[in-house]
Amino acid sequence: MTKKELKEFLDAKVEQYNRLDFIDSDPIQIPHKFSKKEDIEIAGFLSATIAWGNRKSIINNANKMMQLLDNAPFDFVINHEEKDLEPLESFVHRTFNGIDFITFIKSLQHIYNNHNGLEAVFSKHANKQSIQPAIHEFKTIFFEIEHLKRTEKHVSDPLKKSAAKRINMFLRWMVRQDKTGVDFGIWQSISPSILSCPLDVHSGNVARKLGLLKRKQNDAKALAELDLSLRKLDKNDPVKYDFALFGLGVFEGF
C-alpha cells in the first residue's frame, strides 16, 4: 500500500469503529454512565486501571467498583471516611486487589485536594511533543501518599520503558475531541496532537503488519515509533487510529 492508500484504508476503519455502538463492548461504557466531569474522569481512570484480560470481566469488575463507590465516585473520593473503605477490601481484579483499590481512592483524594485534580496534574507536566513525561510525573504524585510497594505496579511509567497502554487509553478518553460521542474531550487544556496510541498486543500486531511499527516489543520505544507513524497520517488527531488498529485486531482478526 502507498502512504495515501494506507491513510484512506485506516481513515475508513476509524469511521467504521469510532461510533456509539463501540461503547457497548468497551470499558469506556463505565465513565459514560456519568455526566459530571470529575465523576467521568475518576470512573474512567479506575476502569482503565483494570483494563487488562477478558473484556467482559473488565466491564463487570469496573461496574462493581462503581457500586462500591455508591455510584458517585467523586463524592466518595472527596468525602469518604475510614469506615467507608472497608467494603472495598473485598474487591479483586486479577492482581489488582482491595488494598490497591483503597490506595487508589486515597491517592485520588490527595490529587483533588492538593493538586487541583487529575487534569491539572497531566496538563502541568505535558510538553509540546508528548504526554509521556506527564505520565511519569503523575505516577510520582500519585504515590506521594503512604502506600504498599506492590500497588506501584498498577500505574505504568514510560521512563521505565513501559508503553503505559492503560493510561494512554484513559488520556484518549479524556482529551480527544470526538464528534461521534465515544471519547469525551473534557480535558481541553491538553492537545490531542500529543497523545499516544494505547499500544497492546492487538494494535501492535496490526501496526506491524501495516508497516507502521518495526520494533518487536510493545514498550516505550515501540510507542514512540508508532507515534511518529500515526502523526504522519494525522498530526492533529493521531490516536483516532487506535479505533482502526484495535478494530482490525480484535473484531476482524487482521
Integer Cα distance of 50 and 56 in angstroms: 12
Confidence of residue 126 (pLDDT cuts 50, 70, 90): very high
Closest CA to 122 of 109, 107, 132: 132
pLDDT of residue 1: 84
- The whole-model pTM stands at 0.96
Summarize the confidence of residues 160-186 as an average pLDDT: 96
Summarize the confidence of residues 212-227 as an average pLDDT: 97
Confidence of residue 254 (pLDDT cuts 50, 70, 90): confident
Would you state the cell numbers that stand for residue 37, as one nine-digit string?
466531569
**pLDDT (tens digit per residue) in 9-53:** 999 999 999 999 999 999 999 999 999 999 999 999 999 999 998
